[in-house]
Amino acid sequence: MYSALPPLPPLKDEAPGVAVVLIQCCEWLRCCGAGEPRPRTVWLGHPEKRDQRYPRNVINNQKYNFFTFLPGVLFNQFKYFFNLYFLLLACSQFVPEMRLGALYTYWVPLGFVLAVTIIREAVEEIRCYLRDKEVNSQVYSRLTARGTVKVKSCSIQVGDLIIVEKNQRVPADMIFLRTSEKNGSCFLRTDQLDGETDWKLRLPVACTQRLPTAADLLQIRSYVYAEEPNIDIHNFVGTFTREDSDPPISESLSIENTLWAGTVIASGTVVGVVLYTGRELRSVMNTSNPRSKIGLFDLEVNCLTKILFGALVVVSLVMVALQHFAGRWYLQIIRFLLLFSNIIPISLRVNLDMGKIVYSWVIRRDSKIPGTVVRSSTIPEQLGRISYLLTDKTGTLTQNEMVFKRLHLGTVAYGLDSMDEVQSHIFSIYTQQPQDPPAQKGPALTTKVRRTMSSRVHEAVKAIALCHNVTPVYESNGVTDQAEAEKQYEDSCRVYQASSPDEVALVQWTESVGLTLVGRDQSSMQLRTPGDQILNFTILQIFPFTYESKRMGIIVRDESTGEITFYMKGADVVMAGIVQYNDWLEEECGNMAREGLRVLVVAKKSLAEEQYQDFEARYVQAKLSVHDRSLKVATVIESLEMEMELLCLTGVEDQLQADVRPTLETLRNAGIKVWMLTGDKLETATCTAKNAHLVTRNQDIHIFRLVTNRGEAHLELNAFRRKHDCALVISGDSLEVCLKYYEYEFMELACQCPAVVCCRCAPTQKAQIVRLLQERTGKLTCAVGRAARRSRLRRAGFVLPVVVFSPRYSTIYTMFPVFSLVLDKDVKSEVAMLYPELYKDLLKGRPLSYKTFLIWVLISIYQGSTIMYGALLLFESEFVHIVAISFTSLILTELLMVALTIQTWHWLMTVAELLSLACYIASLVFLHEFIDVYFIATLSFLWKVSVITLVSCLPLYVLKYLRRRFSPPSYSKLTS
């Protein structure tokens, strides 16, 4: 039956052989792909009938491949001066005129450092490879002419019909064709795609959902026309066409018909046709290429290395100048550089890399943050330098569990304490109306008033019960059982599924007052009244909520009366221009928002049959448009959104997380500024910020008024500039204007605020704020997390002693004590959490500031001079004795200085000190050519080494004591 299909048109300006080479080359080199992305026509179940070549459905999050691993790792290491210096130093020893010792003394330490780095990178790459392999090897069912066959995710092609079970990951970007759910829809969990915990409702193509079985998908002649691949995960434009029907069927496809890769099916079993694979997946296109990360601490060490190298150059020039630049002076400069090169110790590189591995391991095993996964072991110390924490409101500061709090009808409002009145009104409408019809003569005035109020309440509750995307699901013993339970609409078996907890809260509330949603599918809805009567409604159209429209609507037909009604609910900013004139909407919305409630405006409009038929024809035509579809559809819908009857306001409250207040208090005391970015209205966001103690009770709040142009923004920024120590609350619209004209000035002022709240903020604006904050301040930012203090302090602790004691043999003799500093604690964990102010020292960068570094350099000069001149002063008869005295004094001095640096002793530190000393003593057997072993055993050697070591270390111990006595560090009082 497919032989009659017209041949696909040839691709213009494309040589097939060249295209294959380009695609294979780009996949190997991780390039963007061959040619510009184009729209595509995909035939259902026939991947061979494709109009272009598509990438393999392979997920690859690795930084390197087999061929680029070693060159890539080496390049990422040697592109920084710190590592390049040691490479050049080792390479210089191949030149005879520059050689100062055996090659192994340079290449063995460098090789060890590189081996540690390569092994660490290899382990991370292997872990990443295994994760990718697990994803790429997941098995799915594919519909074929021969039946259902198993296929791996990596073998899925564009055009395949794939079956995805409940709780299974969607393997590729697909169009939703069929579902096993009776209601004709399914829900997705999209947290791995967009970070949102809300479920998303998806609808299958109506034409394919009506087919008797899934196998019939292969018996029809149909295709999908889809837009070119892009990064927009919230929108999609396409059409579905079935050619073998009379007349041909065409349906528009939008985001609600898609199943993006990386999402998880939350209900039922679905069948979809694959549209995009591999690097053309939405999730892949929204992911930046993996890169080698380097922490701020490493960059600071790299900078200090350049300073030390500069000092080496100066010293070498001075030494050559003292010889009046005689002979081959340029070669002498290089030899002096090599001679003094030990000032920059390669053991520092070893300890840094080993420390990162230890900190990553400790973070993974921290019982207070269970389940933590360290994706990169190269930047654990970054946790100690966070200056800004940016957080969403819903699901982060709050629990994302909504509770219905208020129903406002304009003249009367019902709270939690008066919901029984609402229930009474609903009960009277459905139980007393037949006995007391409106046409009854002589009703009392109070009865008329009550009947009017009951009707208003009923219309509001009915609108709330119908205007949503909630689906009731009936479960028995935890297993979905749509057979018996749904027949009786058993309340005990019913749970509500929805893409928003707001809608679930609203439907649960209507159930509590007597109007219960008991059934729903793609085309109908059933409500149960207090008198157990079932009301049937046909769903004619649904207009889903979007961030742009800030509203959702539904058109239903009451099967008992035939009435067609258009219901809509949305944010007050958009609904104010849609509903009929009133004098209470704006004021009451503000009042409810100031109570911390999320407000929705509910309205309705009755439609005549002819009016709806005219709308439907225009709406279907607009949805089939390929170009400017969104604009055309919005224009048609807006033709209905005029002079709607305002029914009510609803207010729901999102409960705060249990520990959000003490957490924000801790962050504030630690010097970390918190910015809240939310889509809620200004009053709601402000109230939540106060309740969560993001803004303290005694702190002023500057509410940035709405600005629409450059002049207004300039005036408001000047007004804000005059405020001091004031939290800022600004809307997304005003923020956009400020960033357009006064980006630098606004960011400068905002960064001075103790807290910032951005409300009515779109997802794209949130990303823009994070990027600007990083660029303008140069500070580290974090989305959500628990700050760690100790990592950076420990690393600074073991970097500085290694910088001071530079000879290369410290890689062996003193590596263990220096490395044991990773176990050091300035304060206990409990004290650090109790006094978060200690974190401020890390934000100032004092543990490795230029001042601290200069002090340690001066210490090294003093101790180096003491050891060298002390050995010369106590010189006896042979030069080898000077070597023994200075060498031993240096080892003892470094071990003592490590002990001086330690704040809290650990038993492993003691073992490390003794082990290093034992290594040195044991190695004397092999150093008999350089050290007189018999001289070491004499009393003369012992007292000379003791005197030199004492003079070298005692003054520093005295200074440390005096400093702790008269100028103690901030944490010393907490440890005493």
395 marked as part of a ligand binding site: no
Strand partners for 813: none
| Secondary structure of residue 730 in the 3-state scheme | strand
Q: Cα–Cα distance between 352 and 345 in angstroms, integer?
A: 12
Dihedral sign (CA 598, 647, 451, 607) = negative
Is 795 annotated to bind a ligand? Reply is: no
680 is in an annotated binding site: yes
Q: Is 393 annotated to bind ligand?
A: yes
DSSP 665-696: HHHHHTT-EEEEE-SS-HHHHHHHHHHTTSS-
Distance CA(609)–CA(607), nearest Å, equals: 6
Q: Is the dihedral of CA 582, 583, 589, 595 positive or negative?
A: negative
Cβ 457 vs Cβ 420: under 8 Å: no
CA distance 800 to 297: 13
DSSP structure string for 173-218: EEEEEEES-TTS-EEEE-HHHHS--SEEEE---HHHHTSSSGGGGG
Strand 516-520 with 524-528, pairing:
antiparallel
Q: Decide: helix, strand or coil at residue 159.
A: coil
Please state the three-class secondary structure of 320-360 as a single string: HHHCCCCCCHHHHHHHHHHHCHHHCCCHHHHHHHHHHHHHH
Q: Which residue has the tokens 């780009």?
A: 26
Q: Using alpha carbons only, how large is the chain's radius of gyration in Å?
A: 36
Catalytic residue, candidates 392, 502, 654, 824:
392
- Please indicate if the annotation marks 503 as binding a ligand: yes
Q: Is 519 helix (H, G, I), strand (E, B) or coil?
A: strand
Strand ranges inside 234-347, DSSP E: 238-242, 249-253, 258-259, 264-265, 270-276
Neighbouring C-alpha atoms within 13 Å toward the C-beta of 931: 18
Please tell me whether 779 is known to bind a ligand. no
Q: Is 532 a catalytic residue?
A: no
Element (H, E) at 600: strand 598-607
The alpha carbon of residue 758 and the mean position of all alpha carbons in its chain are separated, in whole angstroms, by: 18
CA dist 300 and 730 (Å) reads 36
Annotated ligand binding at 663? The verdict is no
Say if residue 394 carries a ligand binding annotation. Answer: yes
Q: Which residues pair with 225 in a beta bridge?
A: 41, 239
853 annotated to bind ligand: no
Tokens coding 36: 């510009």
Q: Exposed/middle/buried for 48, CB within 10 Å: 0-12, 13-18, 19+? A: exposed
Tokens of 435: 């006995």
- CA–CA distance, 130 with 137 (Å, rounded to integer): 10
| DSSP secondary structure letter of residue 554 | E
How far apart (Å, rounded) are the C-alpha atoms in residues 714 and 701?
A: 19
Closest CA to 923 of 913, 934, 935, 931: 931
Q: Hey, which residues does 557 pair with through a beta bridge?
A: 538, 564
Contact (CB, 8 A) for 598 and 649: no
221 annotated to bind ligand: no
**Contact at 8 Å (CB) between 828 and 884?**
no
Place of tokens 């004397």: 924
Which residues in 85-101 are b (16+ Cβ under 10 Å) and which e? bbeebbebbeeeeeeee
Query: What element of type H or E holds 665?
Result: helix 660-669
Whether the CB-CB separation of 301 and 352 falls below 8 Å is answered with yes
Q: What is the DSSP letter of 395?
A: I
Under 8 Å between Cβ of 836 and 667 = yes
Nearest 5°: phi and psi at 676? -105, 125
* Dihedral (CA of 84, 87, 89, 91) sign: negative
- Only one residue has tokens 């109570």, namely 595
Residues in the annotated binding site for ATP:
392-394, 503, 545, 569, 598, 678-680, 760, 766
User: Which positions are catalytic?
Assistant: 392
Residues in the annotated binding site for Mg(2+):
392, 394
Residues in the annotated binding site:
392-394, 503, 545, 569, 598, 678-680, 760, 766
